[in-house]
Amino acid sequence: MIGALLIELSLVRLKRFPIVLGGVSVSKDIKIPQATTKRLPLYYRFIQNFANEGKKRISSKELSEAMKIDPATIRRDFSYFGALGKKGYGYDVPHLLQFFSETLDQDEATNVALIGVGNLGNAFLKYNFQKNHNTRIVVAFDSKAPMEGTEISGIPVYHPDMLEEMYEKYNAELAILTVSSRSAQAMTDRLANMNAKGILNFTPVRLSVPDNMKLLNIDLSVELQALIYLIRNQDEE
């Protein structure tokens, strides 16, 4: 689940898709399918693994076997960005690594605010994206925290009444929402008024946000039900 969260945060920050033609990066507005955008951070992660192993060149088949994704899907995803590889040669690993790093803005740090420090929120604070050095929770908010603030796992935690002041102080861009259902929309409205860029919503509420705010929903119960269905359906086949 934490790995999926990193992917979702990368998607919230995804701002542009440079097209590579003949080794030259060209900015162009193109429509990328959502399924493809969700795979981009995964490609980046696995290409990093190949680079760490000293690989200089890989084929779509090698990437397919590592990621458990059909080679045709990989080639189709990459085709949206121009000539990332060459037929009969494959893909240059350093070039792919640079491409996805720039596309996903991996060189820029992302400060995240966590709103709601219950069981799930505590898990996020303890983990705090240890394997993703450019993403970190810098501040958290919880109704049980004192106004002057406290500290959990080295992260400052404040009462929600301090949201506007501390969100700005810690230069947060995104918010992870793990509050109760009854307060989810009200908290979202406050974030929207602060011009927060995006919310990763772990509540079951379908939130309303302005057009300029990115919203991604993760409903663990729905995901679990889908997994149960797949398992049972597989057993019947």
What does the DSSP assignment read for 125-141? HHHTTTT-TTEEEEEEE
Name all domains of the chain by residue range, CATH numbers in brackets. Answer: 2-103 (1.10.10.10), 110-222 (3.40.50.720)
How confident is the prediction for the chain on average, in pLDDT?
83
Q: What is the pLDDT of residues 143-155, one digit of tens each?
A: 999 999 999 999 9
Q: In percent, how much of the chain has pLDDT > 90?
A: 47
Inter-residue contact 188 to 195 (CB < 8 Å) = no
- pLDDT value of position 12: 57
Q: What is the pLDDT of residues 20-72, one digit of tens each?
A: 433 434 444 567 787 888 888 889 889 999 999 999 999 888 999 999 999 88
- pLDDT value of position 132: 60
